[in-house]
Amino acid sequence: MIDRSPTISRDPAQLRLAPNLQDWAHEREVFRWDALREELLAAAPGSINIARLAVDRHAAGPRAQRTALRCLDRDGGRRDVSFAQLAARSNQFANLLASLPVTTGARVFVLTGRRVELYEAVLGTLKANCIACVLFTAFGPEPLKTRLKIGAADVLVTTAALYQRKIAPIEADLPSLRHVLLLDDDGAVRPAGHLSSYERLMATSPEAFVPPQTTAETPALLHFTSGTTGTPKGAVHVHEAALMHFMTGRYALDLHDEDVFWCTADPGWVTAMSYGVIAPLLLGVTSIVDGGDFEAQRWYRILEEQKVSVWYTAPTALRLLMKAGPELAARFRRQDLRLIASVGEPLNAEAIWWGMDVLGQPIHDNWWQTETGGIMIGNTPGQVIKPGSMGRPLPGIDALVIERLPGGGVRPIESAEASGELALRKGWPSMFRAYLNQPDRYFGCFAGELYLTGDLVRRDVDGYYWFLGRSDDVIKTSGHLVGPFEIERVLMEHPAVIEAAVIGVPDALAGEVIKAFVLVRAGIESDASMREQLMAHARRRLGPALAPRSIAFVGALPHTRSGKIMRRLLRARELGLPEGDTSALETVA
C-alpha cells in the first residue's frame, strides 16, 4: 500500500508528456480569453461556431484522416470515423434539417444513446444554427415529456424502439414537435407524416454545406441540470463556449495530439456534451465512444485494448470499480493510461488512494456545473494534488468565497483561508445565458458581477478548494453549520464503507441532528457491531457534536441519472414528506 502523504505529485515518467499547464500561477497571470479567441479564429477564420471549430477545421487540414471517433458496440464490434467523415456526415444532417425545413434557432433533441449518429446530429444541428439538446435514454416517458416540453422541441432524433416505448405515448402533449427522425427503423414503425427514417433522409442529403453565420452569442446548446436539488433547469449555452471547452481540454484534461481519450459520461449529462463531444474534437484527438453500459471487466478491457491515455469518469463509476475488487483490475494492463480525471460528485481522499494502490496512479478531481458549461476548478497534472480537494481555479477563472448578507447582497471573504459559498466572476465564455423560461431564477443566481454557485467550499491557504456540500443540503446542528460531505468523507475513510450520505433530522434540542445512510462493502455484516465501529470512528474524527447521531445501513442510495446522491429524497423519505420532482432518479434494479 502506498504511503498516505498529504500531497501527491505526478511522476513525469508516467505522465510521459510534459503537462500543457506547467506553471499554474504564471498562466493564470498571463491568460487572456481574447488571445484564445484569436488563436481559434486564426485556425478557422470566420464566425465562431462550435461544430466548425470541432470538425470542419480538422477536416480541412492535416488531421482529416485521423480517427475522431472510435465507436465500440456492445458485442465487441468497432467502427472508426475520421474527422473528414464526421464533417461530411454532420453537413448532411445540417442539410437534412434545412430540407425539413426548420428555421434558425429550432430545438433539435437527441435521444439515442452513445453512437455515431448522436455526434452527427449534434454537430449538424450546431452548423445549421439550431440548438441541440441530448436526453438520457434511461428516462421514462414522463421525464422526457417534461424536458421536451420545457425545451419546446421542434425535432427529435431517436430510435424506432425508443420512439415506440417512450415518445408515442406522450406525443399528443408535445404540440411543438414537428419532426421525429427514426434510427434503426426496421419496419416496425411506419415512417409517415411527421415520422421519417433518419438514414433514408441522410442518404439523399448532400455532403456539402455552407454554414450560416453564427456569432459568439448565438445559442447553441440546451442542457438540463441533474435535478439533484429540485426540478431540473434548462440551461442555455452559446457558441463561444467552445473557447472554454478548448482551454479546459488543453489544461484540465491535458489532451495532447497523440492521446486516446475516453469520457464515460452518459450522453444525457452535460459532461458528455462538453467533454465527450466538443473538447476532444476541438483538440483533434481520438475519442472512444462506447455503446455499452457500465461493466467493470468490460471497462478495464477497453482501457487496455483501446490504449486509452486520458480517461474522464465520475466517482460513482470509480466506486463501482472499487466494489469489483483489486483482483479484477490487476488482470488488465493500463500501460497507455497517463491521466484519470473525475467530476460530478465529491471525490474523497480514499478514492484517490485507491487509484494509487489499484490503478497505479491518482485520480484528478475537478469541479463544475451545468451552468458553468466547463471545468472551473481542477487538479491539473502539473500541480500537486491534495487528496480530497477539488484543486484550484483554472486560468481565466476567477473563483471567490462569499457570504450572503442577511439583508440581501453578498460579501467576498478576502482572507486566503475561507469557508462559504463558491462564487465565480462573470466573463468565462461557457457561462449559461439563461434558464429556459425562468428569467427570475436566472437573475437570482447573480449578485452584480458574481455568479453564485450554491455550493459550499473551503479554500485553504494554498488556494485549493475543498467541497463541503450544497447549500440546500447544509445541516444546522447545535449551532454548527455542517456541509454533508464533511461528515461523509470521514465515514468513507472507514475501510468497510463504500458510500455514505448524511442528512439533518429535526431535533428539539439541537435544531437538527445528523443521520447517516451507509452502504458497506460486499461481505461485510451491517450489524450492531459494525454500527458501533463506524460511530466510534466518526466520533474520534469529528468529535461528538458533528458525529452522526444515527446510522442506517442501506443496500443502495438514491442517485440521479448522472450519478449524484439525492439527499433531498433521503430527507423527504425520512420525514414522510412529499418526494418532489423525481424525474431524474435512477431506478435501482
Enumerate binding residues for ligand ATP (CB under 6 A).
Answer: 225-230, 232, 270, 343-347, 365-367, 369-370, 390, 453, 455, 467, 470, 562, 564
List the end-to-end C-alpha distance of the chain, in Å, as a whole number. Answer: 34
How far apart are CB 227 and Mg ion at their closest, in Å?
Answer: 9
Task: Kindly indicate which of the ranges 171-179, 198-206, 210-218, 220-228 contains the residues binding Mg ion, using the contact rule CB under 5 A.
Answer: 220-228
d(CA 344, CA 538): 25
Binding-site partner at residue 160 among ligand ATP, Mg ion, none, CB < 5 to 8 Å by type:
none
Binding-site partner at residue 564 among Mg ion, ligand ATP, none, CB < 5 to 8 Å by type:
ligand ATP
Binding-site partner at residue 266 among Mg ion, ligand ATP, none, CB < 5 to 8 Å by type:
none
Q: C-alpha distances in angstroms, 187 versus 9, 36, 179, 325, 585?
A: 57, 49, 18, 44, 33
Q: Which is nearer to ligand ATP, 73 or 460 (CB)?
A: 460
- What DSSP assignment string belongs to 123-175? HHHHHTT-EEEE--TT--HHHHHHHHHHTT-SEEEEEHHHIIIIIGGGGGG-T
Q: Which is nearer to ligand ATP, 180 or 270 (CB)?
A: 270
Q: Which is nearer to Mg ion, 225 or 430 (CB)?
A: 225
- CB count, 10 Å around CB of 38? 11
Asked whether 246 and 40 are in contact (CB, 8 A), the reply is yes
Q: Which is nearer to ligand ATP, 106 or 376 (CB)?
A: 376
How far apart are CB 483 and ligand ATP at their closest, in Å?
Answer: 10
How far apart are CB 370 and Mg ion at their closest, in Å?
Answer: 6
Binding-site partner at residue 274 among ligand ATP, Mg ion, none, CB < 5 to 8 Å by type:
none
Q: Which is nearer to Mg ion, 251 or 368 (CB)?
A: 368
Binding-site partner at residue 477 among Mg ion, ligand ATP, none, CB < 5 to 8 Å by type:
none
Residue 517 C-alpha cell reads as 445512510
Q: Which is nearer to ligand ATP, 382 or 483 (CB)?
A: 483
Q: Which is nearer to ligand ATP, 87 or 377 (CB)?
A: 377
How far apart are CB 469 and ligand ATP at their closest, in Å?
Answer: 8
Binding-site partner at residue 431 among ligand ATP, Mg ion, none, CB < 5 to 8 Å by type:
none
Q: Which is nearer to ligand ATP, 228 or 477 (CB)?
A: 228
Name, in order, each residue with C-beta under 8 angstroms of 550's C-beta and a sequence gap of 6 or more: 513, 515, 516
Asked whether 401 and 501 are in contact (CB, 8 A), the reply is no
Provide the pairing of β-strand 286-290 with 260-263: parallel
How far apart are CB 417 and ligand ATP at their closest, in Å?
Answer: 19
Cis peptide bond N-terminal to 484, omega within 30: no
Binding-site partner at residue 287 among Mg ion, ligand ATP, none, CB < 5 to 8 Å by type:
none
Q: How many residues bind Mg ion (CB under 5 A)?
A: 1
Binding-site partner at residue 343 among Mg ion, ligand ATP, none, CB < 5 to 8 Å by type:
ligand ATP
d(CA 122, CA 289): 15
Binding-site partner at residue 470 among Mg ion, ligand ATP, none, CB < 5 to 8 Å by type:
ligand ATP
How far apart are CB 366 and ligand ATP at their closest, in Å?
Answer: 6
How far apart are CB 488 and ligand ATP at their closest, in Å?
Answer: 11
Q: Which is nearer to ligand ATP, 287 or 316 (CB)?
A: 316
* Structural element, H or E, at residue 410: strand 410-412
Q: Which of residues 224-263 bind Mg ion (CB under 5 A)?
A: 225
d(CA 241, CA 36): 12
* Structural element, H or E, at residue 58: helix 57-59
Binding-site partner at residue 112 among ligand ATP, Mg ion, none, CB < 5 to 8 Å by type:
none
Q: Which is nearer to ligand ATP, 265 or 497 (CB)?
A: 265
Q: Which is nearer to ligand ATP, 302 or 424 (CB)?
A: 424
Does residue 275 sit in helix, strand or coil?
Answer: helix
How far apart are CB 81 and ligand ATP at their closest, in Å?
Answer: 28
* Structural element, H or E, at residue 5: none
How far apart are CB 440 and Mg ion at their closest, in Å?
Answer: 17
How far apart are CB 559 and ligand ATP at their closest, in Å?
Answer: 10
Provide the pairing of β-strand 219-224 with 195-197: unpaired
Binding-site partner at residue 495 among Mg ion, ligand ATP, none, CB < 5 to 8 Å by type:
none
- CB count, 10 Å around CB of 95? 20
- CB count, 10 Å around CB of 170? 17
Q: Which is nearer to ligand ATP, 391 or 504 (CB)?
A: 391
How far apart are CB 138 and ligand ATP at their closest, in Å?
Answer: 15
d(CA 166, CA 163): 6
d(CA 547, CA 540): 9
Phi, psi of 578 (to 5 degrees): -60, 145
Q: Which is nearer to ligand ATP, 299 or 367 (CB)?
A: 367
Binding-site partner at residue 108 among ligand ATP, Mg ion, none, CB < 5 to 8 Å by type:
none
d(CA 201, CA 589): 38
Asked whether 424 and 376 are in contact (CB, 8 A), the reply is yes
Provide the pairing of β-strand 434-435 with 234-238: antiparallel
How far apart are CB 528 and ligand ATP at their closest, in Å?
Answer: 32
Residue 490 C-alpha cell reads as 470521514
* C-alpha neighbours within 13 Å on the C-beta side of residue 132: 35
Task: Kindly indicate which of the ranges 68-76, 187-195, 218-226, 434-442 contains the residues binding Mg ion, using the contact rule CB under 5 A.
Answer: 218-226
How far apart are CB 373 and ligand ATP at their closest, in Å?
Answer: 10
Binding-site partner at residue 390 among ligand ATP, Mg ion, none, CB < 5 to 8 Å by type:
ligand ATP
Q: Which of 117, 169, 173 is nearest to 139 (CA)?
A: 169
Q: C-alpha distances in angstroms, 295 versus 223, 332, 499?
A: 27, 14, 19
Q: Which amino acid is at 357?
A: D
Task: Report the interface residues with Mg ion, using CB under 5 A.
Answer: 225
